[in-house]
Every structure is written in structure tokens, then in C-alpha cells.
Amino acid sequence: MSVSHVTTHILDTAAGKPAAGVAVELYARDGEAWSQIGTGTTDADGRVKDLGPERLPSGAYRLEFATGAYFAGIGQETFFPEVSLTFTVNENEAHYHVPLLLSPFAFSTYRGS
């Protein structure tokens, strides 16, 4: 399996464990529109390593996480039915890891390594 230029990892901070089974979509900005370029689902460790292409050109990208379906699946109410993160990629950078720290009523992110 190849590793995508962009990967992600979701930790359910309220439950204290990885968020498995979350659908994730990767989009690229094309002018004013967004085009889907990859999809994946978090594994048992909350990770998606094969989300899209191995290399991406410089530009704006978006990760969309189906958090509502995840919380519904574990019987938990949530304020955030989805989380959308927009960021920039420099094609000269080797890798972008964009983790999501998630709870039913809050989330945070950062650029990981």
C-alpha cells in the first residue's frame, strides 16, 4: 500500500481512543469549485493512509469528516455532524499529516508529522 501525500488520524478524545470507521473525503480547489480526489475510512487505529495521490501539486485542499455518522453509530449526540478542514499544500513538502482531535461538542487540529 502506498502512503498518500495527505494522511489523517482521528482521536475521539471524549472516549480516549481512536475513532474507527469514520468516512473521510479529500478535495482539491479548482478555481472556485472543489473536486473530490480521494476517499477513505479510518481503520481500527483511527488512521487513513491511502486517502489520495502519493503526490499533490501546490494548492488548497479540504478534508471532510463524517463525524455525525460516527457519533450516531456509537449512540452519542453531537453538535458537529461534519467537520471540514481547509489547508494549503506545497508540492515540495514530503508529507502532510492532518490529525483531528474530536469530541461530541468540540474539535481541534494541527499539522502533524
Cell numbers 490529525 correspond to: 99
pLDDT of 15: 95
Q: What is the mean pLDDT of each run of 10 residues along the chain (113 residues)?
A: 88 97 97 96 96 94 98 96 97 94 97 87
pLDDT of 1: 52
pLDDT of 112: 87
CA–CA distance, 25 with 40 (Å, rounded to integer)? 6
The model carries a pTM of 0.94
| DSSP-derived pairing of the beta strands 59-65 and 23-30 | antiparallel
Residues in contact with 77: Cβ distance below 8 Å, sequence separation at least 6, in sequence order: 71, 104
Q: pLDDT tens for residues 46-68?
A: 999 999 899 999 999 999 999 99
